[in-house]
Amino acid sequence: MSEPPPPFRRTDLPVELRVDDLLGRMTLEEKIDQLHQCGASDTNPNNLALRPDAFRPTYGSFIVGGSPAVLEVRNACQRRVVTESRLGIPAVFAADVIHGYRALAPLPLAQACTWDPELVRRGCALAAAEARAQGIDWTFAPMVDHCVDARWGRIAETFGESPHAASAFSAASVRGFQGEQLGGRDSVAACLKHYVGYGASEGGRDYVYTGISPQSLWEMHLPPFEAGIRAGARTVMSGFNDLNGVPASANQYTLTEILRRRWGLTGPVVSDWDSVVQLVNQGFAADDAEAAEKAFTAGLDIDMSSGLYRDHLAAHVAAGRVTLAAVDEAVRRVLRLKFELGLFERPYAEANALTDAAPDPGQFALLEELAARSLVLLKNDGVLPLAASARRIALLGPLAADSAPLLGCWAQYGQPAETQSIAQALKERLPAGVQLRVEQGCSIQGAASDNPAAAVEVARESDLVILCVGEDGPMSGENASRTTLRLAGRQEELVQAVAATGKPIVLVLVSGRPLELAAFEGKMSAIVAAWAGGTRAAAALADTLLGRRNPSGRLAVTWPRTTGQIPLYHNMRPRGRGGDQGAYRDMPTTPLYEFAHGLGYTTFGYGALRLDRTEVKPDGRLVAEVTVTNTGACEGVETVFWFIRDPAASITRPLKELKHFEQASLAPGASRVFRFAIEPRRDLSFPDDDGRSVLEPGEIILLVGGQSASFRVTR
Ligand code: NOJ
């Protein structure tokens, strides 16, 4: 008779019992190995290869990536783990699936410009299904950092500057990645990152100090993490940043007090790559051993890559600097995640139709919807949609015929060859008889072969110019800080030279951040922020330029006129003097394009703002409504943004804060009533410097669609 399976192998038992049973069987070394994470790739030199001497089969988790054969590498690694370790505890495999796997959606910042969390959820669900098909159990996403400095390359990975919006997209992404239930065929565990404050990197530089007031930490940085955890996110990644002198990867207040005690996170917190060993560089630990101790005792469970837990935790336990109970608790979190993912029952991933599959037309509809809805029409003098009278079109600029930049940063599994360029998409769609001439003019970053004159020549012989400029993928994302938002290389010179021809120009911006347009914005007939729109970016853009789609994206970030205005954001505090006092002397102080700005091919009229009362008690409810009518000639999506302003409070409050948004597609002539049901404790309070919610009686101003109304919160 065969032995009955040990309790931890029994699926009929509750997870917590299985965890306890397994933990009771583990040696200290086996436990500590569960807290170690390293790479498992056969091509990435940063990662461990699959050499037998390179890892112990008791390691808890691996990062896969860098190899085209992700599924094979993953399963080969798992086989060693499961068959060569004493207890056969399966490993969990993680990867950076940020805005898709091989079928890429737009960058997160672009996705936020759709203002459609449900659409974003669907995009994440597609990414999860593709990632699962490669054996990825856990994605390092969503990134929910708060950033108001576009010099920082990682602004591309954020959901923009509004904590309210980022919270909505954080929750939507978590639901998309994790699905109904963890362990499902199309589900991966989500990881909220980079906890916390990383987006406030000084000067837009990466991996640096972030000085954030405690109140601002609670108000601007923590809410999207809390929203993600409430939506069920199982894991969190700690940031690289030095948070007010106590690095985020060794910060007891944020890691233990907030995440565990207040928010009740039950899954593990993983460090960012080497952020434990970097505590030494940051001057927070004297040596590796102290770095391990400080990170671990602060509440960081898994050490990604640096190996310091593996090398030093046992000695800390022996010396009493780290308790065994704390090690058990951290291991419990890792094991809990593995049980929830079903890894004990299904340690190996199976190939399916999505494995190694090129994006297919079945996915195109969703990818195109995401890409099209994230486009923001910043300016339009009427040249768009393109009129049939434009018979000779010049398609110019370094982004005109190059598909790779459309994929953006974190596109390691994306294939430029499977991505249409803007030139290809336009050619496919332009009616017969329309001539499209393509000329690059210059490269993105500058090269000896740059030849703006050739592009100018083509412009001269055309009726209209579509000029595609911006950034390539590596110019945004991690370690991609810039001192200026100006176009790189000779692109500005190209824009100016083409503008000098006097031809109408539709400027298409492909980028991971707002770009500086001050020098030539006035000369452009239309400007489209196309971001890096992913695999189907070009199709979405071409359809929009030709009027087959009506653009509806609205900026999720304030667009400055010039780099020197940074930081500039809608929810700034008011300044002490009005008028020109304190304003810039050399340029307007206002942004080029406000937060939530975006045009379309139709117009919307707002009826009078109505409130159902003028006073509301803290636990009461006040309903505001406004009727919006499509007053133009084509169907369009309108997003209604509701802001509040608290004009006098015990601490200064922002000029305006986004509190609610909602959208609908309206046919020409159609109207819809949009409502904001205000619950004062939820919508009108603010956090103090320890996160306690403060609701004060007094006046509140509500702003929507260029109107405002005020009401009072009473006792
Ligand atoms: C470093 C990045 O900061 C983080 O976002 C990413 O998830 C890890 N590396 C793993 O690749």
Q: Is the pLDDT of residue 298 over 80?
A: yes
Ligand 1 atom with minimal separation from the 65 CA: 11
Instruction: Report whether 162 contacts 571 (CB < 8 A).
Output: yes
Which residues have CB under 8 Å from 194's CB, separation 6+? Answer: 143, 145, 237, 238, 239, 240, 241, 248, 272
Q: Is the pLDDT of residue 527 over 60?
A: yes
CA of 193 to the centre of ligand 1 (A): 9
- 478 CB within 6 A, ligand 1: yes
Residues 425, 426, 431, 432, CA torsion sign: negative
Would you call 664 helix, strand, or coil by DSSP? strand
> What is the Cα–Cα distance from 271 to 528, expressed in whole angstroms?
38
- 138 CB within 6 A, ligand 1: no
Using one digit for the tens of pLDDT, what is the confidence trace for 654-712? 999 999 999 999 999 999 999 999 999 999 999 999 999 999 999 999 999 999 999 99
Give pLDDT, residue 79.
94
- 274 CB within 6 A, ligand 1: no
Using one digit for the tens of pLDDT, what is the confidence trace for 93-143? 999 999 999 999 999 999 999 999 999 999 999 999 999 999 999 999 999
Minimum mean pLDDT among 45-49, 232-236, 246-250, 364-368: which range?
A: 45-49
Give pLDDT, residue 53.
62
Which residues have CB under 8 Å from 3's CB, separation 6+? Answer: none
List the structure tokens of 473.
């993928």
Q: Go through the chain and tell me how many residues it has.
A: 715
**Mean pLDDT rounded to a whole number for the chain:** 96
> What is the Cα–Cα distance from 625 to 361, expressed in whole angstroms?
41
Say which CATH class 361-565 falls into. Answer: alpha beta
What's 199's DSSP letter?
A: G
Residue 176 to residues 84, 111, 228, 345, 425, Cα–Cα distance (Å)? 35, 14, 11, 23, 29
Using one digit for the tens of pLDDT, what is the confidence trace for 22-78? 999 999 999 999 999 998 865 555 555 555 567 799 999 999 876 778 999 899 899
Helix axes 223-230, 163-178, angle to 10 degrees: 30
Ligand 1 atom with minimal separation from the 96 CA: 7
Query: What's 496-557 look like in SS3?
Result: HHHHCCCCCEEEEEECCCCCCCCCCHHHCCEEEECCCCCCCHHHHHHHHHCCCCCCCCCCCC
The domain limits of the chain are 361-565, 604-713
Amino acid at 180: E
- 593 CB within 6 A, ligand 1: no
> What is the Cα–Cα distance from 359 to 14, expressed in whole angstroms?
39
Ligand 1 atom with minimal separation from the 193 CA: 5
Phi/psi of residue 678, nearest 5 degrees: -85, 125
| Smallest CA separation from ligand 1 atom 9, residue | 273
> What is the Cα–Cα distance from 106 to 127, expressed in whole angstroms?
12
Instruction: Report whether 413 contacts 101 (CB < 8 A).
Output: yes
What's 245's DSSP letter?
A: T
DSSP β-ladder status, 303-304 and 392-396: unpaired
* Helix (H), strand (E) at residue 658: strand 657-666
Give pLDDT, residue 49.
52
Q: Torsion angle, CA of 690/695/698/699, rounded to 10 degrees?
A: 90
Give pLDDT, residue 69.
82
Which residues have CB under 8 Å from 216's CB, separation 6+? Answer: none
| Smallest CA separation from ligand 1 atom 4, residue | 272
Give pLDDT, residue 457.
98
Q: Do domains 361-565 and 604-713 have the same CATH topology?
A: no
CA of 216 to the centre of ligand 1 (A): 25
Instruction: Report whether 506 contacts 466 (CB < 8 A).
Output: yes
619 in active site: no
- 140 CB within 6 A, ligand 1: yes
Instruction: Report whether 633 contacts 602 (CB < 8 A).
Output: yes
Percent of the chain at pLDDT exceeding 90: 94
Diameter of the chain measured on Cα atoms: 89
Query: What's 48-96 look like in SS3?
Result: CCCCCCCCCCCCCEEECCCCCCHHHHHHHHHHHHHHHCCCCCCCEEEEC
DSSP β-ladder status, 392-396 and 242-243: unpaired
Using one digit for the tens of pLDDT, what is the confidence trace for 581-629? 999 999 999 999 999 999 999 999 999 999 999 999 999 999 999 999 9
Angle at 93 between CA 91 and CA 95, to 5 degrees: 160
Instruction: Report whether 366 contacts 122 (CB < 8 A).
Output: yes
Q: Torsion angle, CA of 220/221/222/228, rounded to 10 degrees?
A: 110
> What is the Cα–Cα distance from 170 to 234, expressed in whole angstroms?
13
CA of 56 to the centre of ligand 1 (A): 23
List the structure tokens of 641.
């943004």
What's the gap between Cα 189 and its chain centre?
16
- 638 CB within 6 A, ligand 1: no
Using one digit for the tens of pLDDT, what is the confidence trace for 625-649? 999 999 999 999 999 999 999 999 9
List the structure tokens of 140.
């390092």
> What is the Cα–Cα distance from 103 to 199, expressed in whole angstroms?
27
Instruction: Report whether 73 contacts 67 (CB < 8 A).
Output: yes
- 569 CB within 6 A, ligand 1: no
What's 126's DSSP letter?
A: H
List the structure tokens of 162.
């509004």
User: In 10 A of CB 118, how many CB atoms?
Assistant: 11
Give pLDDT, residue 8.
98
* Ramachandran class of 579: left when φ > 0, alpha when ψ lies in -120 to 50, beta otherwise: left
| Mutate which of 67, 152, 237 for ligand 1 pocket (most atoms within 8 A of beta carbon) | 237
- 96 CB within 6 A, ligand 1: yes
> What is the Cα–Cα distance from 41 to 54, expressed in whole angstroms?
12
List the structure tokens of 27.
């040696």
CA of 273 to the centre of ligand 1 (A): 6
Helix axes 537-545, 361-374, angle to 10 degrees: 60
CA of 377 to the centre of ligand 1 (A): 32
Instruction: Report whether 230 contacts 239 (CB < 8 A).
Output: no
Using one digit for the tens of pLDDT, what is the confidence trace for 410-436? 998 999 999 999 999 999 999 999 999
Q: Torsion angle, CA of 481/482/483/488, rounded to 10 degrees?
A: 180
* Helix (H), strand (E) at residue 236: strand 235-238
For domain 604-713, give the fold: Immunoglobulin-like (2.60.40)
Tell me: cis bond preceding 106? Omega within 30 of 0 counts. Answer: no
Of the residues 242, 272, 450, 472, only one is catalytic, namely: 272
Angle at 384 between CA 378 and CA 385, to 5 degrees: 125
> What is the Cα–Cα distance from 124 to 177, expressed in whole angstroms?
5
Using one digit for the tens of pLDDT, what is the confidence trace for 259-288? 999 999 999 999 999 999 999 999 999 999
